[in-house]
Amino acid sequence: MNNARTADVDLAGTRWIACFDDNAEHRRSNGYVCFRKTFSCPEAPDEALLHITADYRYTVWVNGEWIGQGPVRGWPQSYFYDTYEVSRVLRPEVNAIAVLLHTLEVSTFQYIPAGNPGFAARLSGGGMQMMWSVVTDASWICSPHPSLTDNTPRISTQQAFVEHFDARREPGGWKLPEFSVALVDDPSGPANEPANGSSEWRYAREADEMPVLQPRDIPHLTCEEIYPVSLRETSAVQLPLPAWSMDLRRLLLPEEASQDANPHLVRGMVATTVKAERPMSVRFRFQDRTSGLNTRMSVNGVSLIPIDDSGSHWSGLFHYDANLGIGENLLLFRFDGLAHEFTFQAAVEIITSEIAKGASEHSDAVEPIPCLPDIAEGRFAFYNAGGTDDEDGGIWTTMSSAVTWADWRTAADGRWSILPRAAEHDGNVFLSIRHAWPSASVDGGRPTDPTALPITAADFRCCGGNGEVALIDAPPEGKALRLVFEFEKMTAGLIEFELFGQDGATVDFYGFEAYQGNEPVHMDSMHNTMRYVCRQGWQSYRSLTHRSFRYLAVQFSGFRGQIRLKSIRCLLRTYPAPVIGHFRCSDERLNVVYDMSRWTARLCSDDVFVDCPTYEQAFWVGDAYVMSQATSSLFGAEPLIQRCLTLAAQSLDRSPAVESQVPSGWKNILSTWNLLWALACVEHADRTGDIAFAELIYPALRQQTLHYRQLLDEPTGLVRSPYWNLLDWADIDAPAGAIVTHVNAWYAECCRRIGLLAAQLGRNEDAAEFGSLSEALKDRLNVHLWDSSRQAFSDCLREDGTLSASASEQTQLVCLINDIPSKERRAALLRFVRGEATDTVRSATPFMRYFKLQALEQAGMIDALLREIRDVWGAMADSGSTTCWEDMPGRWSPGYPTRSYCHGWSVAPAYFLPRIVGGIGDIEAGSKSVAISPSFGDLRWADSCMMSPHGKIAVAWERTEQDFLARISLPPGITGRLRVPMHSWSVKALMVNGRSGAVGTHVVNGFWIVPLEGGSMSVVRASASGLL
């Protein structure tokens, strides 16, 4: 990273290149293209810089050595480019740059297509003799990568597609200088095409325009090798029947909506037939009823009743049991409602016991094989109803009740299409593995329980990266051997492995986060998977997709002989996070919680703050409020914080308020999240004293503040928010269109803080206006939202003018920390902080408990604060978790305590423990002074350190029955004030650096204050006249 860089210099002379002209036949939703360029290096360079960017993603090698991946996420108006120093890998004479370009034609929660897939790169170097450069232009050659399959399931609504790689089809040596190939558009090119180079190579095509580019604004991510520490399970499993799986996005949605990531109303139908030689009962398992296609099923004109499998579960698991008769059976799958993900996927399982025995042997005679009678091109038919039943003339109703295939075709009246076989997914790894676990077995049905195998010392050989191998014997036909590797703690990055493979062997990978007892907690509605098909011989592979997991199931099938697994590991890819901030104390439970929180904060620090490294990998701007506080104090993540805040601000180019997650194809506004973004901006400016950032971000802050002013309700003078008003995953009464209390409380604090920032920047009119608005909002909240019968603030004022019957704990906490209640009402609300209020909605998530800890700190309830951390986060640690959870047990069904086991919004202890126990306050920007005020609670000693923009602040203290000893280190140029945590009247002796009567020592409010100097350690000892 170099902020002085410019694209005009770094990428001078480059052209934006792609493999094909802009025509539909080569535009794929999920494409992979190889590019390469050979060049001569006249001498060993002193420096060689490779600058590169892409739409959507690149992976680059020089002379076969992996250099990096990128770019970091950004808005399509301006891509970021990366810079690598590569002189160490260059050779005399001929060299090669190889780039794998991954293109997407659909949006995710990380990416928005710009309609110009391609990349640009420039390698420049020089030595004593001359300077030289290599740029992207039409002289590069390219080919679609034949090993990477483009028709795989989506990983999730928020992410792209599952990675399937067939090593048998890879052009051998394409990343190396010596590779040569015949070009389809150059008859004079070399004819010595490699034996396994089955793809067609051609010259690259130059685009007419180069996108706007800017240099990367954060350091490169880490690349640390993490090996598993154990082999949790070894088992032989029966492979289930192939899933029925396909992407219906482009069929269900109009063209203008097919590329975004918004939820859409859909109305469509998939039809197929199954010919049965004898009666059979078949179970069709579905998932993601909540945000995916809520599939309704009928067989031979009879609508089936869905059977719930998950209870209150975020992914909504359910199934249908279908009885198929002899002969042709018509199966209809209908979708009618709002969906955020458009993958049709059904796990198919025969449950008639006498049939299941034959199915387990993969007998074609009994497997329910979908087909369209007399149609060879595909196995499924599709009908898009579009609007209401009246609009399509009743066709939908008639088709839905069709008894036979002939009836359905007649009712469709030619308005249906065949789904070609190529449109079906090339396997569904998740469903294949998911439904071979013991939890997927069915009473009285086909046995699917894996057979546990003994684990021997030899099986662990591949865990250490020491060159030893584990031997994988071929399983019987139709079965697979599964190994489940356990990592010491949750990890995130790229999977890498090395093995000796048998030609055509399938190796499936499935990462998951936790076990519940002896059962894995499955990641339903999320395909955290990868498939690799082996070529013969030794081979290694580094995955292209960032994943997170603690347990990695690796499943081997479809081969004879033996596979030798030499190594498997994860390359940890996070924002650099040196261990600067730390915390230790006399309570080991708090130590474990702190470490758990710190590790979570690191895993959720990617190229932005992600909500979770597994499920979404999305930058939710409200979650980032907590992450910015924690990571600043943990490892000085100011560049990442500033990047996140400015990325969020850019969403104002298309929305009136900052969007909930960016940059994203889901255009969504969440009021609390954008107000927390505003507070994070002001706090970052205050913490760093960065006037340039303040000037940069202020126009966005002002724009959003004025927009909310336009939403003021005339009779009440309060904001009537039309947006999603989420605060906590709990039953807070905060509907869109209401005057929501917590939204107005956050807005009042934003106006106050932004007004102060405006004054610092000399915007005096704004400062006066925003300050007055803040005071008016506080007054109006006390007038219109206070419920005197409850002695609390109501959650909202409804559109009909009535107060909500709910006065949630969350609402009171937000009002308290933002100084909304009058003095007498503040005392009434403290019962919510103490947990004494009954008949109220309580804080549900660790995210909301960040603000509860803030309220406890403000109230001086340190014992209660430590107890809250021990109880909430300690429960996670008790379960064996190494990271902090998204939810707490109780929200979901029994046995499912949380969705994400690693969530950035839950890292509050990493911030509060050193801050409260160590007493490390914020550095005051004007005076560059910090207050140190340790709190004992029930602890005997503590050692805390927090990073600040000025350097490390470390406080270690211990106490005995009558003595208090503190060692305090401040950065140079920073002064401090230690508040000795003993009443002044009880102190009989006070020593500072071995001397009594230190200059400047004085008493304030009954406590000794000791001045501290920066740049050296201060040792303070106080002796009490009684017991501490």
User: How high is the pLDDT of residue 221?
Assistant: 98
Amino acid letter, residue 208: D
Which residue, among 147, 176, 174, has the nearest Cα to 163 in the 3D structure?
Answer: 147
CA 26 – CA 693 distance, rounded (Å): 43
DSSP 186-254: BTTS-----TT--SPBEE-EE-S-PPPEEE--SPPPP-EEE--SEEEEEEEEEPPPPPEEEE-HHHHS-
The yes-or-no verdict on residue 17 having pLDDT over 60 is yes
User: How high is the pLDDT of residue 524?
Assistant: 86
Which residue, among 522, 627, 491, 54, has the nearest Cα to 618 in the 3D structure?
Answer: 627
Contact 459, 231 (CB under 8 A): yes
CA 890 – CA 730 distance, rounded (Å): 11
Mean pLDDT, to the nearest integer, of 830-849?
94
For CATH 2.60.420.10, list the domain ranges present in the chain.
Answer: 929-1024
The confidence band for 582, taking pLDDT boundaries of 50, 70 and 90, is very high
Tell me the range of 196-210, 261-275, 280-294 where mean pLDDT is highest: 261-275
Mean pLDDT, to the nearest integer, of 87-97?
94
User: How high is the pLDDT of residue 312?
Assistant: 54
User: How high is the pLDDT of residue 311?
Assistant: 65
Residue scoring higher pLDDT (363 or 62)? 62
% of the chain exceeding 90 in pLDDT = 81
Mean pLDDT, to the nearest integer, of 930-943?
96
Contact 253, 264 (CB under 8 A): yes
CA 406 – CA 548 distance, rounded (Å): 48
User: How high is the pLDDT of residue 363?
Assistant: 44
The confidence band for 519, taking pLDDT boundaries of 50, 70 and 90, is confident
User: How high is the pLDDT of residue 482?
Assistant: 94
What confidence tens digit (pLDDT) does each residue in 657-708 have? 999 999 999 999 999 999 999 999 999 999 999 999 999 999 999 999 999 9
Q: Is 485 helix (H, G, I), strand (E, B) or coil?
A: strand
What confidence tens digit (pLDDT) does each residue in 225-254 have? 999 999 999 999 999 999 999 999 999 999
CA 632 – CA 641 distance, rounded (Å): 8
CA 120 – CA 276 distance, rounded (Å): 55
Reading the block at residue 856, the tokens are 């406890």
User: How high is the pLDDT of residue 760?
Assistant: 97
The confidence band for 292, taking pLDDT boundaries of 50, 70 and 90, is confident
> What dihedral angle (degrees, nearest 10) is formed by the CA atoms of 604, 606, 608, 613?
-40
CA 223 – CA 596 distance, rounded (Å): 21
The yes-or-no verdict on residue 988 having pLDDT over 50 is yes
Q: Is 333 helix (H, G, I), strand (E, B) or coil?
A: strand
The yes-or-no verdict on residue 975 having pLDDT over 50 is yes
The confidence band for 1027, taking pLDDT boundaries of 50, 70 and 90, is low
Reading the block at residue 800, the tokens are 């009909």
DSSP 789-837: TTTEE-SEE-TTSPBPS---HHHHHHHHHTT-S-HHHHHHHHHHHTT--
CA 92 – CA 144 distance, rounded (Å): 30
Reading the block at residue 687, the tokens are 């913490």
Contact 602, 511 (CB under 8 A): no
Reading the block at residue 558, the tokens are 């479809």
Mean pLDDT, to the nearest integer, of 144-148?
96
CA 731 – CA 729 distance, rounded (Å): 7
What confidence tens digit (pLDDT) does each residue in 885-919 have? 999 887 776 667 899 999 999 999 999 999 999 99
Q: Is 689 helix (H, G, I), strand (E, B) or coil?
A: coil
Bridge-based pairing of strands 163-166 and 280-286 is unpaired
Domain 7-149+159-219: CATH class, spelled out: mainly beta
Reading the block at residue 254, the tokens are 């109009």
CA 634 – CA 618 distance, rounded (Å): 21
Mean pLDDT, to the nearest integer, of 623-650?
98
The confidence band for 438, taking pLDDT boundaries of 50, 70 and 90, is very low
Q: Is 593 helix (H, G, I), strand (E, B) or coil?
A: helix
Mean pLDDT, to the nearest integer, of 77-99?
95
User: How high is the pLDDT of residue 22?
Assistant: 58
What confidence tens digit (pLDDT) does each residue in 324-348 have? 999 999 999 999 999 999 999 999 9
CA 693 – CA 367 distance, rounded (Å): 64
Find out whether the peptide bond into 71 is cis, omega within 30 degrees of 0: yes
User: How high is the pLDDT of residue 127?
Assistant: 67
User: How high is the pLDDT of residue 450?
Assistant: 56
User: How high is the pLDDT of residue 46?
Assistant: 85
What confidence tens digit (pLDDT) does each residue in 382-418 have? 999 876 655 666 889 999 999 999 999 999 989 999 9
Reading the block at residue 770, the tokens are 């925003």
Number of helices (H), then strands (E), belonging to the chain: the values are 18, 53
The alpha carbon of 388 is separated from its chain's Cα centroid by a whole number of angstroms, namely: 37
Reading the block at residue 765, the tokens are 């009119």
Domain 225-236+447-572: CATH class, spelled out: mainly beta
Domain 929-1024: CATH class, spelled out: mainly beta
Mean pLDDT, to the nearest integer, of 118-138?
89
The yes-or-no verdict on residue 606 having pLDDT over 80 is yes
The yes-or-no verdict on residue 364 having pLDDT over 50 is no
Contact 154, 429 (CB under 8 A): no
CA 1003 – CA 1008 distance, rounded (Å): 4
Backbone phi, then psi, for 683, in 5-degree steps?
-65, -35
For CATH 2.60.120.260, list the domain ranges present in the chain.
Answer: 7-149+159-219, 225-236+447-572, 243-426
CA 583 – CA 901 distance, rounded (Å): 22
Mean pLDDT, to the nearest integer, of 51-60?
98
The yes-or-no verdict on residue 446 having pLDDT over 90 is no
Mean pLDDT, to the nearest integer, of 93-118?
95
The yes-or-no verdict on residue 5 having pLDDT over 90 is no
% of the chain exceeding 70 in pLDDT = 92
User: How high is the pLDDT of residue 355?
Assistant: 47
Contact 110, 73 (CB under 8 A): yes
| Mean pLDDT value across the chain | 92
The yes-or-no verdict on residue 831 having pLDDT over 50 is yes
CATH number for the domain running over 243-426:
2.60.120.260
The yes-or-no verdict on residue 93 having pLDDT over 80 is yes
The yes-or-no verdict on residue 1026 having pLDDT over 90 is no
What confidence tens digit (pLDDT) does each residue in 413-426 have? 899 999 999 899 99
CA 917 – CA 483 distance, rounded (Å): 44
The confidence band for 129, taking pLDDT boundaries of 50, 70 and 90, is low
Reading the block at residue 282, the tokens are 């078949």
CA distances (Å), origin 446, targets 30, 240, 315: 36, 10, 25
